[in-house]
Amino acid sequence: MSFKVLQPGLLSLLQDLGRFGQHEIGLTSSGPLDSEAFAWANRILGNAANACAIEVSFGGLQLQAQTDSYICITGAELDVSINGVNKPLWCGHKVVAGDQVKLGYSSQGCRTYLAVAGGFNIDPSFGSCATVMREKIGGLNGLKLAANDQLPCATVLQHDQLSLAPQHQPIYAESAHLRLVLGYQHNLFDAATKARLQHSQYQVTDRSDRMGMRLQGPSIACPSQQMLSEGIALGAVQVPADGQPIVLLNDRQTIGGYPKLGSVIARDTARLAQLRPGNTITFEIIDLYQAHTINTLAQLKFDATPLLHTKD
C-alpha cells in the first residue's frame, strides 16, 4: 500500500506542517515553503491539516500508485497527467493500483504539493516527518526523494472528489509584495535606510534555497555588525555586511548574529517561496496589529471558502 517514485524531479521532499519545540537542540522547523498551497491540498482531500505530503520544487516528479487512493496537486502551474490523460490542479483525482502520475515542469511559480488521501504514512523524527536534508532528519532517512522510494499510504476506495474554484486559487506572479513587522533591532537602521527599503525593488538571486531568499537591490547596510547570536524567526530579514537582505525561510539556521530589520509575515513568505531567480519583490512595513488582522482574515476566508464536488 504505497506510491513508488519513478522519477523524483529536481527536488521533492516529504513535508508536514513542520517541527516545533526543537530549536533548543538546534533543529529547525522546516515544513512547506508555501503553507497556503499545502493547506489546500490537504483540505481538498479532507485530510488533517498536518498530513504528510510531497513538496515538489520546479516539477518533474513521477509516481506509480501501488494501491487505490485519491490525490490532489496544488501550487505552481504545471501539467499533470494520470496514465497520459491531463488532469487539473486544485482538484481531487482517483487513482488505482498501476496508475502513473506525472508532473511536468512549472511554468509559473516553483513549488507544487502532491497530497494523498489520509496523508503519507511516514514515521516522525523529533515529532515531525518534515524533511531537512542539512540535518538529515524527517522524510525517508532525511533525504530528498529518489527513484524506487516507496511512500506508504492507506488504501481508499471511496472518497468525495472536491475541487477549489478558479476564482479562489492563488495567482503566482513574477513579483511579490512583502509585509514586514519591524523587530527590536530596527533602531539600528536609520530612517533613510527604512524608507529606502519601502521604496525600492529587489530581485531574487540564484543563491536562494529553502534556508532563505537572497535578494539584490539597494543596500540597507547596518552600521553595527557585531552582535550576539540569537534565535531566528520564520521570515526574519537578516542583513549581512554587504547590505543585501536575506529573508529566512523554513530551513533557516536556529540562531544567527547578523542584524535583523524585522520579519515578513508568514502569509507573504508563502508567496515569496513561489518566486524564481530574477523575479522581484517590494516591502511594506506594517505593525503587529495589522499583521494579526491579515492573518485572522486570511484564515477565516480559507475556512469559509466552499469546495466544489467534481468527477474525473
68 and 100 housed in the same domain: yes
In a domain, 307, yes or no: no
* Boundary (domain end) residue, out of 113, 139, 165: 165
Pairing status of strand 80-82 against strand 236-238: unpaired
Q: What is the pLDDT of residues 166-221, one digit of tens each?
A: 999 999 999 999 999 999 999 999 999 999 999 999 999 999 999 999 999 999 98
The pLDDT assigned to 230 comes to 87
Binned at pLDDT 50, 70 and 90, residue 80 comes out as: very high
pLDDT surpasses 90 at 85: yes
pLDDT in tens, 107-151: 999 999 999 999 999 999 999 999 999 999 999 999 999 999 999
Identify whether 170 is part of a domain.
Answer: no
- Give the CB-side neighbour count of residue 81, counting CA atoms within 13 A: 9
Same structural domain, 125 and 237:
no
Does residue 202 share a domain with residue 292? yes
C-alpha–C-alpha distance, residues 259 and 93, integer Å: 47
Q: Is the pLDDT of residue 312 over 80?
A: no
Same domain flag for 154 and 99 = yes
Residues 148 and 186 reside in one and the same domain? no
Q: Based on the domain organization, do 133 and 40 belong to the same domain?
A: yes
159 and 183 within one domain: no
pLDDT at 48: 97
Hey, which residues does 248 pair with through a beta bridge?
212
Same domain, 183 and 52: no
What mean pLDDT value characterizes the chain?
95
Q: Measured between alpha carbons, how far is 272 from 188 in angstroms, rounded to an integer? A: 25
Tally of domains within the chain: 2
Which pTM was predicted? 0.96
Domain hosting residue 236, numbered range: 175-301
C-alpha cell at 254: 536556529
**Which 3 state secondary structure label does DSSP give 300?**
helix
Residue 228's pLDDT is 80
Is the same domain home to 196 and 290? yes
